[in-house]
Chains A and B, each alone.
Chain A
Amino acid sequence: SQQGEEDPQALSIQEGENATMNCSYKTSINNLQWYRQNSGRGLVHLILIRSNEREKHSGRLRVTLDTSKKSSSLLITASRAADTASYFCATVNSGNTPLVFGKGTRLSVIA
């Protein structure tokens, strides 16, 4: 069964607005990662946050992690039409265990 669950399943916003996606997970993690998938393409790694970190930034991306609530959020600021994609969270539980992905949030940014 999947570890991470993204919320909402789909999100539609206007260009320039901020987009927030949430991820909840079930067990203790080593790190949590966010990936992006354009339609018909493979997933691309966006950002990684370790279990001892609470917030991380990369360009227009901001990720937070609350291990007490077993949740993470991905914020995309000043969204662009090119940000339209599906976004997935994935967790690494320990050591060499494979990533477990959620079902994703489908983001549509309308120009």
Chain B
Amino acid sequence: IAGITQAPTSQILAAGRRMTLRCTQDMRHNAMYWYRQDLGLGLRLIHYSNTAGTTGKGEVPDGYSVSRANTDDFPLTLASAVPSQTSVYFCASSDQGANTGELFFGEGSRLTVL
């Protein structure tokens, strides 16, 4: 079934450790996004990529980095995790050629930083 796959589903991490959340899509969408979802704050954009080879900063980029080496993959890295990065992370993609901005979401990665 076509869609977005995120891994891991859930992870507990010690503060200071490095962590990469993986995201892969098989819809050949050119744009991909990372959001974090926190209770009472809704979804906030971390980083995005409009096409392979380019990335941009969202609303809350500090402490995170991304890369877009190819169309399908968009990993999110926490170089040195802190407790405030405890959240549920959602990867999404869109076909910008459709010019609608409709997003397709993965099922999320729940990260706990202790």
Which chain A residues border B74 with CB–CB below 8 Å?
none
Q: Give min CB distance, B76 to chain A, whole Å.
A: 15
A residues adjacent to B (C-beta < 8 A): 1-2, 30-31, 33, 35, 40-45, 48, 88, 90, 92, 96-104
- Chain A residues contacting B105 (CB-CB under 8 Å) are 42-44
Which of B35, B59, B102, B106 has a CB less than 8 Å from the CB of A48? B102
| Contact between chains at B42 and A98 (CB < 8 Å) | no
Contact of A31 among B42, B44, B100 (CB under 8 A): B100
Chain A residue numbers with a CB within 8 Å of B45 are: 98-100
Could you list 15 further interchain pairs (A-B, Cβ under 8 angstroms) beyond the known A99-B103, A101-B42? A30-B101, A33-B101, A41-B108, A42-B90, A43-B92, A43-B105, A45-B102, A90-B103, A92-B100, A92-B101, A96-B31, A97-B101, A99-B45, A100-B45, A101-B43
Smallest CB-CB separation from A91: which chain B residue? B101
Are A96's CB and B50's CB within 8 A? Answer: yes
Binding site for A on B (CB under 8 A): 4, 31, 33, 35, 40-45, 48, 50, 58-59, 90, 92, 96, 100-108
A35 to B35 alpha-carbon distance, docked (Å): 14
Shortest CB–CB separation between residue A24 and chain B, in angstroms? 14
A98 CB contact (under 8 Å) in B33, B40, B41? B33
- B107 close to A41 (CB less than 8 A): yes
- B108 partner residues in chain A, CB cutoff 8 A: 40-42
- Whether B35 lies near A101 (C-beta < 8 A) is yes
Task: Determine if B107 and A42 form an interchain contact, defined as CB atoms under 8 angstroms apart.
Answer: yes
Q: Which chain B residue shows the least CB distance to A32?
A: B101
Provide the bound-state CA to CA distance between A1 and B107, in Å: 24
Residues of chain B contacted by A104 (CB below 8 angstroms): 42
Among A2, A31, A45, A92, point to the contact of B104 (Cβ < 8 A): A45
A52 to B43 CA separation, bound complex (whole angstroms): 26
Across-interface contacts of A35 in B (CB, < 8 A): 103
CB <8 Å contact, B103 and A43? yes
Write the chain A residue with the least CB distance to B88: A40
